[in-house]
Amino acid sequence: MRIGLIVNPVAGLGGRVGLKGSDGADIQQRAVELGAIPCATDRAIETLKYLLPLKTDLAILTYPGSMGEIAARRAGFLPFVLGQILFDHTTAEDTKRAVKELMNKDLSLLLFTGGDGTARDIYAAGGSEIPTLGIPAGVKIHSAVYAIHPRAAGELAMAYLREETELNLAEVMDIDEEEFRKGRVSPKLYGFLKVPYLQRFVQGAKAASPQLSSSALKGIADDLFVRMSPGTIYIFGPGSSTYVIAKHLGMEKNLLGVDAYLDGRVIASDANESALLELLFNYPTAEIIVTPIGGQGCIFGRGNQQISPAVIRKVGETRFRIVSTPEKLQALKGQPLWVDTGDYTLDKMLCGYYPIITGYKEYVMYKVTS
Amino acid sequence: MNNITDERFTDGKPNLRRFHQARWDEPVIFELGQPGQRGILVPEVDEGIKSQVGNPLKEIPDSLLRKNQPQLPEISQPAVVRHYVHLSQETLGVDCNIDVGQGTCTMKYSPKVNDQLARMVEMTELHPLQDESTVQGILEVFWRFEQILKEISGLDRFTLQPGAGSAAIYTNASIIRAYHASRGEIDKRDEIITTIFSHPSDAACAKVAGFKVITLYPDEDGYPDIEALSAAISERTAGLLITNPEDTGIYNPRIAEFTKLVHVAGGLCSYDQANANGILGVTRAREAGFDLCHFNLHKTFSTPHGCGGPAVGATGVTKELIPFLPVPLVDFDGSNYFLNYDLPNSIGKIRPFYGVAQAVLKAYAWVMALGAEGLREVAEIAVLNNNYLLHKILSIRGASAPYAKGKRRIEQVRYSWEKLYEETGVHSDELGIRAADFGVHYWTSHHPYVVPEPCTLEPTESYSKEELDEYAAIIENVANEAYSNPDLVKNAPYNSTVHTINNHPLDDPQQWCITWRAYKRKTQQVTA
């Protein structure tokens, strides 16, 4: 069994010294001057220690020094080291080069340590092909590709290597650090990685078999199917949930884009606002299907700006349906869903309670705020 | 700090027992014995009888005769006794540990004298197909127990036919369906509302009965969200299926407003009283505005709960809904008890016959021993015990009780070990497994885990302060171990019959082998 390991040694540098991110050499330099201590290697070690029981069967392929070699050795492994780096300075390009080299090495799993910036680099270089899992070390973690902490990453990786988990598509998200430093949070969806998904089981006869998210999504697709009407345009927002639902309905879907369907056929692929408005001019009866951004709960205004206030108004302010797996809702820990379309009046109109479709004939009445 | 294992309680018991469970490495009974071994040698039929009766098998149609001999284990009586004694030693149960950890199941002590009643030959030799005139005694018990349930709930009639809580909820959902059908509204009213902390069977049974299910999440204070309820109610609302107190142990103080809102919209309200142990004699379904309810005799009424039954989900309705109850009802004409099938709008049968007679008898005996005041005392002690344990558990590092902060709980609490997990990496289910090393266990929660790292404890009225102290001391010890040596907890158990098993295949029906025949077929397929 082979796993890849990529450590972004500068991930997290900016956080503890209050710089709200570590993107860019200048910020990293300032962080070091302010006394930041790199933590990414320690976090990778914490995860890798969970894999020690597999040591004899596990080959770790990694990059030199602080990009993984040190972490693997300190955790007790003898890694296979590829590539070359400058030891005192690594960049996003090193991460991308490492991903490309590791991609063809028949990996069971790629572990990486970093934050949102690193996840973006991993996705940009390798796409969604290899099963991947993030060990959180960065300042910004908006992406759903990370375990909640290094120990959990170890547990997940172990479970996956023992074939006890399934893979789910999880969002790679990032925010503009410059905007964030000015107090504005504007997360953007960059893509998806295939991530092990561990459904924890419970001992005891009363524990019903947990509904896996894949079967929940099929149930949601079935529920939507019986509600669909001929001649109505269905606008599907981006996201892994809508992607899988569309697949169940036999329709091609862009993960990141907005697509529109008529009578089960694609009528607009990866459509922008003007394309949607033009479509709605020709087909005035329409519905919007959106899913909340994982872990955040935004339904309009983040990652789906193509579905603009003008599009929402044209379709009709009540003609949208929210779909979500139960797990995604529970991850919000009771926080309401929210909208931020940029149109204050519309946002206020969209506030209220909505039945979120969570399965076939299953709904959760949930609050939406602005 | 004193060593906790050296300390002793005031009742003389050790603070933490040096428990070790039996481990017999016991095979499945089909793997035991040898061909030709027998437990009972049935004597040959006497020649005189044989000549008089002939061969009775000839009267059975060929189509009903089996072609092959049944593949039963061939094994001696003492080997059977040893086998089942071994298995009984490899379990934890209410008769051998402080069983407060199976929250929502109301694992109370069930007096053995009631078991003796149920084992009387007058009970064991009864058959449900006997003529009514020959079973007047047990019919009287059914009828009298129904009068007791009517008083406890305030509702007007009960059926004791449903065989469990879920069967009772399904009964209620079916009655709601039949009621709206009788008014020509069933095509319009197809939605049932429930809450996320009601028992999951409320949603599941409603769905099996053909309804759409709308679930409400708690509001910011942890109570069912009444604004969400208002948003969910419409002309499509068929009814409300709700547990109160919920599985968090929180009592919804606005329950009467909930039922009123649903009634105004034309829906019916059904009260899942699986969690009734803390409100017996305190609140009633009728005063809270419910049209239907059910009690689990195998929980609240001590019949007892365990091993999947036999159980009874006693189902009650208001006068208006009596015509829809399952048949038969047990009635009394002033001189005789009889089975009444005369319910033209009945939903039919939920299960054969009219209820598990032994369970009804035990519940009747339990209530009669307590009396009305005793029932209320049960509830008061259950609530007192629970809030005492709540106080003890919340003093343990890493524990919390989400929702309704600072408020008391009724008969159980759904705790969270989220903080402990974040600080130690030890999951709630791992704490529960480690607790088994000290001879107790706990259950986490139904899925989905809305409360993170959950643990649900329900002390009932059966346990003394010393026993609750002992249980809390075990949990505190395990939590402390999680902080000082998390691997010790994560690698547990050490003193149990088996180590942890991989539960993953439970999610794959293809791998299930619930009979020996299925096991042989599926394993042969694998090896072939």
Mean pLDDT across B68-87 = 93
* Domain ranges, residue A251: 213-369
Q: Give the residue with greater pLDDT, B164 vs B447.
A: B164
**Per-residue confidence (pLDDT) for residue A205, from 0 to 100:** 24
Q: CB B217 to CB A334 under 8 A?
A: yes
Cα B410 from Cα B384, distance rounded (Å): 8
- Residue B140 to residue B159: CA distance in whole angstroms: 14
- For A272-289, what is each residue's pLDDT tens digit? 999 999 999 999 999 999
**Of B388, B408, B385, which is closest to residue B222 (Cα–Cα)?**
B408
Pair (A177, A235) in one structural domain: no
Cα–Cα distance between A163 and A175 in angstroms, integer? 34
CB B90 within 8 A of CB B23: yes
Q: Examine residue A297 and state whether it is found in any structural domain, yes or no.
A: yes
Helix, strand and coil percent figures for chain B, each rounded to 5 = 40, 10, 50
Quote the tokens at residue A166.
């399934």
pLDDT level of residue A164 (50, 70, 90 thresholds): confident
Domains of chain B: 29-98 (no CATH), 135-367 (3.40.640.10)
Residue A303 sits in the same domain as residue A264: yes
Using an 8 Å CB-CB cutoff, list chain A residues near B446.
206-208
Vertex A40 angle, CA A34 and A44, to 5°: 165
The pLDDT, as a whole number, for residue A99 is 94
Q: d(Cα B251, Cα B198) in Å, to the nearest integer?
A: 11
How many domains in chain A?
Answer: 2
Q: What is the pLDDT of residues A215-237, one digit of tens each?
A: 889 999 999 999 999 999 999 99
Residues A231 and A121 both lie in one domain: no
More confident position, A28 or A361? A361
The answer to whether A195 and A170 are in contact (CB under 8 A) is yes
Last residue of a domain, one of A172, A197, A222: A197
Q: Which of A201, A208, A212 sits opposite B200 (nearest CB)?
A: A208
**Rounded Cα distance, B506 and A326, in Å:** 20
In angstroms, the Cα distances linking A344 to A182, A280, A339, A340 are: 21, 23, 10, 8
pLDDT per residue as tens digits for the range A125-134: 998 889 999 9
pLDDT per residue as tens digits for the range A111-125: 999 988 899 999 999
Average model confidence (pLDDT) for chain B?
93
Residue B115 phi, psi (nearest 5): -65, -40
- Contact residues on chain B for A147, CB-CB shorter than 8 A: none
**Residues A157 and A287 occupy one common structural domain:** no
B448–A210 CB contact, under 8 Å = yes
Among B193, B504, B510, B514, the strongest candidate for a mutation testing the A interface, having the largest count of A CBs within 10 A, is B504
φ and ψ at residue A57, rounded to 5 degrees: -105, 0
Question: SS3 string of B140-164?
Answer: HHHHHHHHHHHHHHCCCEEECCCCC
pLDDT of residue A206: 29
Domain assignment present for A207: no
Out of A197, A232, A266, a domain closes at A197
pLDDT of residue A87: 65
β-pairing verdict for A233-236 and B329-332? unpaired
CATH code for position A189: 3.40.50.10330
Q: What are phi and psi of A173, to 5 degrees?
A: -125, 160
Provide the 8-state DSSP code for A98: H
Tell me which residues of chain A have a C-beta less than 8 Å from any C-beta of chain B. 149, 151-152, 164, 199-212, 326-327, 329-330, 333-334, 352-355, 358, 361-367
pLDDT of B425 above 50: yes
Task: For residues A351 and A235, state if they share a domain.
Answer: yes
Residue A211 has pLDDT above 50, yes or no: no
B319 contacts: CB under 8 Å, gap ≥ 6: B156, B157
**Are A188 and A229 found together in one domain?**
no
Option in A206, A329, A353 nearest B231 (CB): A353
Give residue A200's pLDDT band: very low, low, confident or very high (50, 70, 90): very low
Q: Are residues A113 and A259 in the same domain?
A: no
Segment holding A321, helix H or strand E = strand A320-322
Spatial separation of the C-alpha atoms in residues A249 and B191, rounded to whole Å: 25
pLDDT of amino acid B1: 47
Whether residue A266 sits in one domain with residue A240: yes
Q: Does residue A204 lie within any of the structural domains?
A: no
CB–CB of B295/B158 below 8 Å?
no
Tokens found for residue B82: 């040893």
Q: Taking CB atoms and an 8 Å limit, are B214 and A364 in contact across chains?
A: yes
**Same domain membership, residue A169 and residue A103:** yes
Q: Given a cut of 90, is residue B345 above it in pLDDT?
A: yes
pLDDT of residue B510: 82
A218 lies in the same domain as A181:
no
Same domain assignment for residues A180 and A277: no
The size of chain B, in residues, is 528
Inter-chain CB proximity B447 and A327 less than 8 Å? no
> Is there a contact between B417 and B466 (Cβ–Cβ < 8 Å)?
no
Position B230 confidence tier, pLDDT thresholds 50, 70, 90: very high
CB-based contact B216:B224 (threshold 8 Å): yes
pLDDT in tens, B357-373: 999 999 999 999 999 99
Query: Which stretches of chain B sit within 8 Å of chain A by CB?
Result: 102, 104-105, 196, 200, 203, 207, 211-218, 220, 225, 227-229, 231-232, 308, 422, 425, 427, 429, 432-433, 443-450, 452, 502-504, 506-507
B338-344: long-range contacts, CB 8 A cutoff, minimum separation 24: B338/B132, B338/B139, B339/B132, B339/B139
Give the dihedral sign, CA A213/A219/A220/A221.
positive
Reported confidence tier of residue B10, pLDDT bands at 50, 70, 90: low
In a domain, A183, yes or no: yes
Has residue B83 got a pLDDT over 90?
yes
Query: DSSP label at A23?
Result: -
For residue A206, tell me if it sits in a domain: no
* A161 and A230 within one domain: no
Q: Check residue A212 and give its pLDDT.
A: 54
Widest Cα–Cα separation across chain A: 64
Q: State what percent of residues in chain A have pLDDT above 90.
A: 52
* End-to-end Cα separation, chain A, in angstroms: 48
How many Cα atoms sit within 13 Å of B91 on the Cβ side?
12
- A106 falls within a domain: yes
Query: What's the pLDDT score for residue A31?
Result: 66
Whether B319 contacts B286, CB under 8 Å: no
Predicted confidence (pLDDT) at residue A37 exceeds the cutoff of 70: no
In the prediction, which pLDDT does A208 show? 31
**CB neighbour list of residue B157: distance below 8 Å, 6 or more residues apart:** B146, B150, B316, B317, B319, B322, B325, B329
- Residue labelled with tokens 């890694």: A79
Question: A252 in a domain, yes or no?
Answer: yes
Local confidence band at A367 (pLDDT 50, 70, 90 cut-offs): very high
**Least confident span in A278-282, A319-323, B236-240, B445-449:** B445-449
Examine the fold and report which residue of A157, A172, A197 is the final residue of a domain before the chain moves on: A197
Q: Do A364 and B502 touch (CB under 8 A)?
A: no
Mean pLDDT across chain A, nearest whole number? 85
Domain presence at residue A177? yes
Mutate to test the interface with A, among B91, B205, B208, B215 (most CBs of A within 10 A): B215
User: What pLDDT shows up at residue B137?
Assistant: 97
pLDDT in tens, A53-103: 999 999 999 999 999 999 999 999 999 999 888 766 788 899 999 999 999
Mean per-residue pLDDT, A4-26: 72
Q: Report DSSP state, residue A21.
A: -
The residue-averaged pLDDT of B55-69 equals 89
pLDDT at A145 over 90: no
Facing residue for B504 by CB, picked from A164, A327, A329: A164
